[in-house]
Amino acid sequence: MPREKEADAAEARREEGMELALAEGRKALAEGEVPVGAVLMRGGEVLWADHNRREQTGDPTAHAEMLCLRRGTERLGGWRLGECTLYVTLEPCPMCAGALAMSRVGRCVWGAADPEKGCCGSVYDLPADPALGGGTRWSAGTRERECRELLQSFFRKRRTEKQEPDGRE
Ligand code: ZN
């Protein structure tokens, strides 16, 4: 396949994966969770799709990425995910970026950047750290606007709900 066509095909795959992750993120929003969705895929096969469930489970590790890693490895029967790609609407936090690297996920595709906690390029670049294996690649910005707007809609709603009568939070 010519290089340009190959790049187009890769971009189309990223868009498809992120569409599934966005659908999960919207479920999280409907459930009152911070809307982050993820999907773990091997080639064209969905191993697991999930969303942030921190509030409903009371589990601080119940981020979308962690749930995909847990259930995806159960399905595969092993923890090495070199052939897999994880799509997630928000740049992974330190815990998730660390877990992605430790499970040797081949690639992480994320949508919106997290300048405060993002650990795939923003604050740190954990997947690139040789201490964590260094084998996980990542790419940023797929469907960035939709991923960012999904999060913004949640925080806007929360701000409105939290507002005191004098208008201050
Ligand atoms: Zn996380």
Percent of the chain's residues with pLDDT above 70? 96
Q: Is the separation of the CB atoms in 119 and 92 below 8 Å?
A: yes
* 168 Cα–ligand 1 center, Å: 30
* 94 Cα–ligand 1 center, Å: 7
Distance of alpha carbon 49 from alpha carbon 152, whole angstroms = 22
* 98 Cα–ligand 1 center, Å: 9
Q: Is this structure's pTM higher than 0.85?
A: yes
* 90 Cα–ligand 1 center, Å: 9
CA torsion, ordered 147, 153, 156, 162, to nearest 10 deg: -120
| Nearest alpha carbon to residue 127 among 94, 79, 80 | 94
Which among 65, 91, 116, 144 is annotated as catalytic? 65
pLDDT, tens digit, 9 for 90 and up, residues 91-121: 999 999 999 999 999 999 999 999 999 999 9
* 93 Cα–ligand 1 center, Å: 4
pLDDT of residue 168: 53
Kindly tell me the number of DSSP H helices and DSSP E strands found in the chain. Answer: 5, 5
> What integer is the mean pLDDT of 71-89?
95
pLDDT, tens digit, 9 for 90 and up, residues 106-160: 999 999 999 999 999 999 999 999 999 888 999 999 999 999 999 999 999 888 8
Catalytic, 65? Answer yes
The pLDDT confidence band at residue 165, using thresholds 50, 70 and 90, is low
pLDDT of residue 27: 98
